Structure 1
């Protein structure tokens, strides 16, 4: 069992690495920067994470759980969870300065040859698609709305405003009313 001190160091490394990966990207974030900003020794980082990729996987796992908890909590009392999911996206845009999806951002910085990282990206998106499939039942409609949601993330990041989210939310609502 790890001591509280070691757990604190690990969490601090993860927190700093996660903030840096999200803000400046995986490839632009160096191990030395993480060590400096987390205020840990190099040996401490490598004690918890043997490689930068291993740190990335832990970050993606943690990011997935935090995102999923926030998403679920936000939608908990909403009547129309699908349409409200776009509202969640707008709040996320505001809170994260239109930085976009950590998983899509990481996708642009990795390849399928990094299978453990790639699997984390796929798992996150598969669970999001599963949410839409559960809510909408119709698999084709679910995939279409999921695709609109994903596009809303990318477009709002690109244009740094909520208009794409609002437009695609309206399209999703229209499609759901027709089904």
Structure 2
């Protein structure tokens, strides 16, 4: 076995970040993670008691990475409307960067079983935080219009994955811009 400068727990998580996102949660086996991370099976189970626990850590890490990148795009402007529109620019960026792989959370949602409630809770937490992110930008909207923005954002992400194209993001961004122009959103 090769010597790795990164600790086994970190290698396992880094490997899961790559494989779960690229291949899917259920398509990625524990043996592949062990092999690709260069760790022993005992080491994996020392750090993660189950694949579900590793899946939760994957979602937590993915959320940190994803929100950090989203905030880089939206923090460039001080104006709320420009921040919202910049979130759609982030979708274009992430689509290009990740070859239209789509939302890690929704991808996992489509794979989990009903008894995997902890994974479902992690996915729901991410989506709740995304809704709150839009509400923090437009607090005067009290959720009504920010939920419309959230739904347009989510559908743009999903449809761009489906069609492997940016047009859904551009159409959703234009719809939000039109809401601002029509004064539906303050």
> Shorter chain as normaliser: what TM range?
over 0.9
1:169 is aligned to: 173
Which is worse superposed, 131-140 or 146-155? 131-140
> How far, CA to CA, are the matches of 1:55 and 1:96 in structure 2?
22
> How far, CA to CA, are the matches of 1:6 and 1:48 in structure 2?
17
Q: How many angstroms does 1:6 deviate by?
A: 10
Moved over 3 A (4+): none
Q: How many angstroms does 1:112 deviate by?
A: 4.4
Higher helix share: 1
Q: How many angstroms does 1:7 deviate by?
A: 6.9
2:42 is aligned to: 43
**1:157 paired to 2:157:** no
Q: Unaligned stretches of 5+ in structure 1?
A: none
Q: How many angstroms does 1:73 deviate by?
A: 2.0
Alignment map for 1:128-143 (pairs within 5 Å): 128-136=130-138, 137-138=140-141, 139-143=143-147
Q: Unaligned stretches of 5+ in structure 2?
A: none
CA contact (8 A) 2:73 2:89 kept: no
**1:20 paired to 2:24:** no
TM-score (norm 1): 0.93
CA contact (8 A) 1:111 1:118 kept: no
1:146 is aligned to: 150
TM-score (norm 2): 0.90
**Cα distance change on mapping 1:130 and 1:112 into 2, 3 Å:** farther
2:129 is aligned to: 127
**Cα distance change on mapping 1:41 and 1:6 into 2, 3 Å:** farther
> How far, CA to CA, are the matches of 1:112 and 1:69 in structure 2?
30
CA contact (8 A) 1:99 1:157 kept: yes
2:115 is aligned to: 113
**1:8 paired to 2:10:** no
2:104 is aligned to: 102
> How far, CA to CA, are the matches of 2:6 and 2:114 in structure 1?
31
> How far, CA to CA, are the matches of 1:134 and 1:111 in structure 2?
33
1:60-102 deviation per Cα after TM superposition (whole angstroms, max 9, x unaligned): 1111111111111221122411011000010000000000010
Secondary structure of 1:77's aligned partner: coil
> How far, CA to CA, are the matches of 1:32 and 1:17 in structure 2?
11
